[in-house]
Structure formats: structure tokens, C-alpha cells
Amino acid sequence: MNCSYVKDYEFVVIFDADFQPQEDFLKLTVPHFKGKEDVGLVQARWSFVNKDENLLTRLQNINLCFHFEVEQQVNGAFLNFFGFNGTAGVWRIKALEDSGGWMERTTVEDMDIAVRAHLKGWKFLYLNDVECQCELPESYEAYRKQQHRWHSGPMQLFRLCFVDIIKSKIGFWKKFNLIFLFFLLRKLILPFYSFTLFCVILPMTMFAPEAELPAWVVCYIPATMSLLNILPAPKSFPFIVPYLLFENTMSVTKFNAMISGLFQLGSAYEWVVTKKSGRSSEGDLVALVENEKQSKQLRVGSAPNLDSLAAKEELYPKAEPKPKKKKHNRLYRKELALSFLLLTAAARSLLSVQGIHFYFLLFQGVSFLVVGLDLIGEQVE
């Protein structure tokens, strides 16, 4: 953006490294700025090449389908605002400059610029029918670090921009949406609710005979929440139970990240690039090979002599590739400790003949055990 030629242009499009936009991406997005001088961002949705790769990617797909189909689409339609996803979006350069430019004061700089642009009065458009292909992290280690950043960063940003939101000239309902729905509900209240209720309060009640939690708290509320989350991805309905258990398990990471960001603890500014397997670019490599075959007979004149290059490679053979590092399982102590607590509480529940609590605690304890032993997703090198 500091290059001299940028002054001649009106828009900038941003992609993460693993995104593979279609050839007509700009034709489908840029025209939405025409005649709308107050539109600062046009955001496309994501699609995933590896959503069926393993159980971990299937569960991520459920969450992100809800995010794009419900959160982004509803906010875009009714408020002309949503959190910029950091990629697959076209920005009006004037909107970026008017909002103070790209800052690195938090680990969610994409959300930061979106909030500042919204407070300046810029409108956002979300295009659910324009998809950009990318990939999901396939190992729990990569996903865990990604979720830590995604839940710690918003709390950092909330601390920094709360006063600006209150003082801004936007309407009351937009302020309410920003503070309560955008920041607090999804990033603070829900992780706090899941962690304290299902990982602390419920197992502890099994050791206090006089304490009792009604079935609707233990069963109906989480079941309803999971059902609503899975509706945008109907093909994932068979995974509703694993999804519920896994989300409760992830509440440990999310709760820890939320506390870290809110109180500026040591890991609040940890920014680790999410490791991907490179599957989203496999199609490009296949196409490259096909084009190479088709154009081999058409090379004339100054085209490189690949045969001579091959002969040189025979004279100067490449070094032997290093053997790949062996993949291994990591151990996650917090998840294993909670697994022990939940399974112990399940045994205690069985002795006191509390059926519905027993089954929930048993399956939730097993879920924590599976994650604690790194048995979900691919292992890391």
C-alpha cells in the first residue's frame, strides 16, 4: 500500500495464502461498489476443499457455515456491518485511509479495521453466493492456536475500542449490536457459559447430594443451541452429538483465550500462523501439469529447452531429500485433567442413579480424553 502506483487505484483485494479465488472473482465483487460511495467493503464467503477430510474439519465446517450463512448474512442485510474475515474481501482504499489504516495493535487486525470503518459510517456488503476456496486446519494443534487467537484478539480489541463505540455517532441499536452481540455474546458469554456450566458446575454437583441441576439446563439448552448451529449445514446433521461435545471441549481453550485477551495476560499477543496442508493449491498444480502437456508441442523460438535442462540435472543431481519427521500425538494437560474430573463425576452420578447426568458426563469425559490425547484430526510433525 506504500507503493507509488497505489494512488492510481480505488480498490484493494486481500487474500490469505491458502485462498484460491476464481477467475471472475473481481467481476463478481467490484461492480457492487458502483454508485454506492458509502460502501467500504465487499466480502465473499469461504468454501473448503477439505471439509470432509476428518472429524475435526467436519466440525469446523459446521461452525463456519453458521458464521457465514447466519452471522455475516444477517448483519450484512440488516446493519450493513459485519466482521471482516481478513481475506476474500475487496476494500475501497479511501475507506481504509479514512478509518486510520491497517493497525497491528491486536491479533485481529482485520476485525479492528472493520469496527473502525463502521464507526466512521462506512457500509459493508456480504455476498453469500460468491465463494472463495480455501482449507481448514487438519490438526488439533493448529486449530487450537487459531481459536486462541480468534477469541483472545476480540477481547483485546473490545478493551481498546469500547470508549470509541460509546462516543461514536452511530445509532443506539448499532452500538448495542457492537457491544453485546458482536463482542460479548459470541466471544465472552458463550465460552464462559459452556466452560463454567459443563466443565465445572455440573461435575461438582455430583459430589454434593443436595445440589441439583434441572434437565433443561443440562440437556435442552445445549441441544437447542447445537441444533440451531447445525441447521445451515444440514448434511452435517449426523455429527450433532460430536459437535456438541467438541464445542464444550473447546470452551476450555476459548475461555482461557478470552481471559488472556481481556486482562492482557502473557499469551494475549501470541500470533502463530495457522498451519495448513496445502490442499487448496493441489488443483492449481494439476492444472499446471495439464497445461504443460498441452503446450509442449507449441513451444518455438525462445521457449526454454527443457530437454537440455533435464540433461544438466543428470550431471548435477539434487541432494537427497531429508526424511520427513515422524508425526506424533501431543498431550494436553488441561483437557486430560478435566477428562479425569468428568469421568469421576460420571461414576459418582451412576452410583447416585442420576441417569441423564451420567450419560452426559460420560460422553463429555470421553470427548475431553480424546482431545487431550490428540486423537482428533491429523497429528503434527
Domain coordinates of the chain in residue numbers? 4-137
Average pLDDT, stretch 177-204? Answer: 90
Average pLDDT, stretch 69-81? Answer: 94
Better-predicted residue by pLDDT, 310 or 123: 123
Q: What is the rounded distance in angstroms from the CA atom of residue 4 to the CA atom of residue 129?
A: 34
CATH class of 4-137: alpha beta
Residue 110 is placed in which grid cell? 482485520
Average pLDDT, stretch 119-144? Answer: 96
| Contact indicator for 344, 336 with CB cutoff of 8 Å | no
Average pLDDT, stretch 129-137? Answer: 96
For the stretch 329-346, pLDDT in tens is 889 999 999 999 999 999
Using alpha carbons only, give the angle 90, 92, 93 rounded to the nearest 5 degrees. Answer: 115
**Number of other CB atoms surrounding residue 94 within 10 Å:** 13
Of the candidates 350, 138, 355, 342, the one whose C-alpha atom is nearest the C-alpha of residue 249 is 342
Residue 224 is placed in which grid cell? 437447542
Q: pTM of the prediction? A: 0.85
What is the per-residue pLDDT for 319?
60
Q: pLDDT above 70 covers what percent of the chain? A: 87
For the stretch 196-243, pLDDT in tens is 988 899 898 888 877 777 777 777 777 888 888 999 999 999 999 999
Residue 144: is its pLDDT beyond 50?
yes
- Phi-psi bin for 273: left (phi > 0), alpha (psi -120 to 50), beta? beta
Better-predicted residue by pLDDT, 209 or 107: 107
**Number of other CB atoms surrounding residue 73 within 10 Å:** 17
Q: What is the rounded distance in angstroms from the CA atom of residue 136 to the CA atom of residue 278?
A: 10
**Number of other CB atoms surrounding residue 202 within 10 Å:** 22
Strand order in the sheet with 89-92: 11-14, 89-92, 39-48, 123-134
Integer Rg of the chain from CA: 25
Average pLDDT, stretch 61-65? Answer: 96
Q: What is the rounded distance in angstroms from the CA atom of residue 153 to the CA atom of residue 316?
A: 50
